[in-house]
Structure 1
Amino acid sequence: MTMNDRTPIPEGRRAELGAFLRSRRESLSPATVGLPDGFRRRTPGLRREEVAMLADVGTTWYTWLEQGRDVRASEEVLAAIANALRLDAVERQHLFVLSDRPSPQVGSTNPDKLEEPLQRMLASLSGQPAYVTDRRWDILGWNRAAALIFGDYERLAVDERNLMFMVFANARHRHLLVDWEETARTSLAMFRHDSARYAGDPDFERLISTLRRRSDEFDAWWPRHEVLNPLSNIKRIRHPRKGLMVFEYTSFALQDGSDRKLTVYTPLNECRTVDKLDALIESAKRLL
């Protein structure tokens, strides 16, 4: 393993990193990591040399890290230390943040199902279409208003329940978008920006390969490497029952380390969109 030297980490953060590592080390028993208890343990938890051995790093170097000295750990070494200390996903992310390294993504134990508080929050946005997407822009959950405007996501196959797939490879959704080319180009540039950290990820590669086969436009535009930061924008919808509707949409990152986002569409007064959405919602209630 190698330790990379880059811009020094501020002293205060190094001290916090050392204290965090020490606290995690002292919280572990030797038996937890498969080591014998031994005799004459004067301090709680593991010894520094035991953590260093488990992580396959030098004891002196690991000691310097705990002491807050000006040393830098590579992402590979941090992952090894996290494994040695049995850090959970949130603790692992905290370790990477303190070390000024790109944070590993906190995976969901059930990525296809939103937590109940998120489901209730979506449902409460009754007058605004809204959905939650994951790191690959797969749609994980949505409210009734979103289904009334964009269609019933439940009817789509899992891999097709993806914003990029819907824009480029779902003919019905493509027809909904009045300004399709502008929306598609902007979406692709934002997706490339968001997906940069996952370059080479099999799930992303599968989606990109599918879209290049299914969409001539995606195949032509993807190699251009255009990028945009996520932004708020206007989306004009050609609804099959209500005609032209205009929404302003904004995405919000969920601050749980999951790389999920909440996207909310606010109906504008233009083209009587608010009235049209209210009518769709009332009509759907009568069918329940």
Structure 2
Amino acid sequence: MTAKTQRRRPELAAFLRTRRARVTPADVGMAPGLRRRTPGLRREEVAQLSGVGVTWYTWLEQGRPINASAQVLDAVARTLRLDQAEREHLYHLAEVPYVPGPAAEAQTVSPEVQGIIDGLDPLPAVVYNARYDMLALNAAYRALFPSLAVAPRSERNALWQLFSHPDCCSMFINRAHELPLMVATLRGGYGRHVGEPAWEGFIHRLLGASEEFGRMWHSGDVAPPGSRIKVVRHASVGELRLISTSLVIQGAPESRVVVYTPSDEQSHALLARLRTIDDPLIGCPRHARRVSEILAERAAVMDADTKDPASL
């Protein structure tokens, strides 16, 4: 037994005893019985409800050097009504690799998180989920990436904006370096969602829209989110060099805050200038249009749809 195991076993024993003490027979549909001196469940009751031997569970709770499988720990966790944090803690103490179950993918952020990214202004900040759906943004990010900010809800996805628009209108000058990393990050998230309709539909849609995405996707590369320099071309102010930093949000499954910090004085000045422009441009010099034009055009289309009897 290693020194680390020797320290963990007493912690495991104490943890199991406290969790067992808080679960009453009524909680698990058992009669309380007479002359019950133990608070909560007895050891033999936990063993019975978990489908394991009484001796084995007793040894586990005594901190003896026995092996436990993930299946058995899951059964004990269900009996003791452990939440996700407690279940993970149990796995760590028993020295069994923890694999979290599927979690609902975040589609919104809390007011507290929105307040945090608003407080980061004048630094651009956005919240993405693992699929690069934009969940929240601040005013500085809206000015920096106006095409994403004004897109219809179904298209508020960073990868969709990058791969469905002409290359000349891409806001990344270092596109050849940045896009493969973003696709590799997407694939890292996809591994946890294989077969889910929302993910499979999104990947299928991107494959149909962009051969470039297809080449990067089929490379099989995987990468985690990380800090790197993004060279951004903005039609209103020119070229900015920004350091993107990803921050994990506790309690929001697979969501992250991405903050953009100017990497030099020129970029800092251009970012400040950009904040003074009320109606920024979107696109390259050849196709540039103002945000107000795009919004007015979209409003006219929506108005026409509501007046068309076929749309009712």
Q: Which moved more, 1:32-41 or 1:11-20?
A: 11-20
Q: 1:106 to 1:223 in 2, by over 3 A?
A: closer
**How far, CA to CA, are the matches of 1:136 and 1:72 in structure 2?**
38
The reply to whether residue 224 of structure 1 matches residue 219 of structure 2 is yes
Q: Which residue of 1 aligns with 2:153?
A: 157
The range that moved more, 50-59 or 142-151, is 50-59
Q: Share of identical aligned residues, percent?
A: 37
Q: How does 1:1-288 map onto structure 2 within 5 Å?
A: 10-99=5-94, 100-104=96-100, 107=103, 111-151=106-146, 152-153=148-149, 155-158=151-154, 160-169=155-164, 175-256=170-251, 258-269=253-264, 272-284=266-278
Q: Distance in 2 between matches of 1:207 and 1:8?
A: 48
* Cα distance in structure 1, aligned partners of 2:201 and 2:275: 36
TM-score, with length taken from structure 2? 0.75
Alpha-carbon RMSD across the aligned residues, in angstroms, is: 3.1
Which amino acid in the other structure matches residue 24 of structure 1? R
The residue type equivalent to 1:157 in the other structure is R
1-structure distance, mates of 2:69, 2:149? 41
* Change in CA separation of 1:117 and 1:78 when aligned onto 2, cut-off 3 Å: same
Larger radius of gyration: 2
Q: Which residue is equivalent to 1:3?
A: none
SS in 1 for 2:81: coil
Contact 1:8/1:70 (<8 A) preserved: no
* One-letter code aligned to 1:131: V
Quote how far apart the aligned CAs of 1:266 are. 0.4
* Deviant stretches of 4+, over 6 Å: none
Structure 2 Cα separation of the partners of residues 201 and 257 of structure 1: 19
**Does the 8 Å CA contact 1:96/1:103 hold for their aligned counterparts?**
no
* Aligned residue type for 1:265: Y
Name which of structure 1's ranges 190-199 and 23-32 shifts more when overlaid on structure 2: 190-199
> Could you tell me how far 1:195 is from its partner in structure 2?
4.3
- Aligned CA distance change for structure 1 residues 33 and 167 (closer, same or farther; 3 Å): farther
Count matched residues.
Answer: 276
Structure 2 residue runs of 5 or longer lacking an equivalent are 280-312
Distance 2:85 2:38 in 1: 26
Give the Cα separation in 2 of the matches to 1:137 and 1:247.
18
Change (3 A) 1:75 1:174: farther
Aligned mates of 1:191, 1:125 — CA distance in 2: 25
